[in-house]
Structure 1
Amino acid sequence: MKIFKRPSRGFTLIELLVTLTIAATLAAVAVPSVQSFLRNNELTAASSTLLTAINTARMEAIKSGQSTMLEPVDSAGSWSQGWIVFVDKNRNQTYTSGTDTLITQHPAVSSYFTVVGNNTATGTTPYILFDASGYAKTKANAFGGLTLNVQRNDVSGAEQLAQTRRVIIANTGRARVCKPQSDTDANCKASDTASDTQ
């Protein structure tokens, strides 16, 4: 008499536990990398959006022949809460609803990003101003080159520098984005009087 073995079906409990342990370990290693990748992409998008707003303001100033400005939406002067671009029709150097022409408005960046500036883009009433020729200016009509940093605030040290994008506006009004960690200091330094290197 022949004995036929019934083919086994499914997994044993041990095999299932080993498989789940391996899957959990791989997931624990992969999730931080995926999160860092996604936030890095979001950082690049946020700095590109800011650059687009700056270029829009400059082009609108040249096109309209009037001063155009960027200001934070937040009354406390935080760029991280979003910004507006407007034509300063009444020339009072601040946004006046109903009088000035609002070009665009950008909402707040994600909570794990911080946007900080120097020169006219810092303080309690920060701004970026372009005159009718497209030059970056101060409210006192001096040249106003400046720098804005878009950086992650949930990391620190060398990793924060790696997760920083710098928007540099030259006195001529030309703007660009660079990575301070990978670019040379001469090309991506935060300058009080940014020159046009392009």
Structure 2
Amino acid sequence: MAHRMRRDRGFTLTELLVTLAIAGILAMIGAPAMGGLIARTTNATIEASIAGTLRHARTAAIMRNARVLVCPSLDGRRCQSADDWQHGWIIAQAADRDGQSDAGKQVIATQAAVPKGTRVLTSAGRKRVTFQPSGSAGGSNVTFTICHASDRAGRSVVVSNTGRVRVEGADAAHLQACLAGLP
């Protein structure tokens, strides 16, 4: 009766180390690309949030037959006088001619701060957007530029005088101004 040698099935230590080394190299190659993907996803989420906020405010102005504003806010109750929106913003029914909400009584919706490393900046001189009861947004067009420290390509949300909201790639001038405020 002949005994056959049975071959063990498994991995040797050398095979395991080679496999781990290859996996480590692939992870190092893929990690920077993953950071860019996360930055682009963050920008897209903020872009959608801003566009949704502006559309919500326009609809509220029409439905309430009142002036409704969107402005940056530190406390979620009052507008701040800055064109840097990374701390969050509010939608509020304008209580008086200066465009301030009435100490939180007319706040319709709030948005929390954007993630660290991300910046939202509006066109020079446009610290808020006010929608009229007709749905129009007085003044010049306003551009919201969204940029991230890990992704040098930004996005823009533009509101026209008629109140139309559109999304597009950021132009070089707006993107440069946005990136200048990032570390």
TM-score per shorter chain, which class? 0.7 to 0.9
Q: CA–CA distance in 2 between the matches of 1:21 and 1:103?
A: 55
Match of 1:112 among 109, 117, 141: 117
Residues 22-37 of structure 1: pairs in structure 2 closer than 5 A = 22-37=22-37
Q: How many pairs does the alignment contain? A: 168
Q: Please report the TM-score for the alignment, with normalisation by the length of structure 1.
A: 0.75
Post-superposition shift, 1:38? 2.8
CA distance in 1, matches of 2:30, 2:124: 41
Match of 2:129 in 1: 128
In the alignment, structure 1 residue 180 sits paired with structure 2 residue 170: yes
Q: Percent identity?
A: 27
Shift of 1:119: 4.0
Question: Looking at both structures, which has the greater relative contact order when contacts are Cα pairs under 8 Å and sequence separation is at least 6?
Answer: 2
Q: Which amino acid aligns with 1:148?
A: F
Distance 1:132 1:119 in 2: 25
- In 1, Cα distance between the equivalents of 2:164 and 2:87? 24
Aligned 1:58-97 pairs, distance under 5 A: 58-74=58-74, 75=80, 77=82, 78-97=84-103
The answer on whether the counterparts of 1:67 and 1:91 sit within 8 Å (CA) in structure 2 is: no
- Following superposition, which runs of at least 4 residues in structure 1 exceed 3 angstroms of deviation? 1-4, 89-92
Q: What is the RMSD computed on CA atoms of the aligned residues?
A: 2.2
2-structure distance, mates of 1:44, 1:103: 24
User: 1:31: how far off?
Assistant: 2.4
The alignment's TM-score, normalised by the length of structure 2, stands at: 0.81
1:147 maps to 143
How far apart, CA to CA, are the structure 1 residues paired with 2:4 and 2:81? 81
- CA deviation digits over 1:40-96, x for unaligned, max 9? 122111101101101111111111111100111124633011100011134441122
Give the deviation of 1:154 after TM superposition.
3.0
Indicate if the aligned counterparts of 1:66 and 1:89 stay in contact, CA closer than 8 A: no
Mapped to 2, the partners of 1:119 and 1:112 lie a distance apart of 21
Residue segments in structure 2 that go unaligned for 5+ positions in a row:
75-79, 175-183
Match of 1:103 among 87, 90, 108: 108
1:23, 1:97 → 2: CA distance? 56
Aligned counterpart, 1:195 = none
Partner Cα separation in structure 2 for residue 8 and residue 14 of structure 1: 16
Matched residue type, 1:154: S
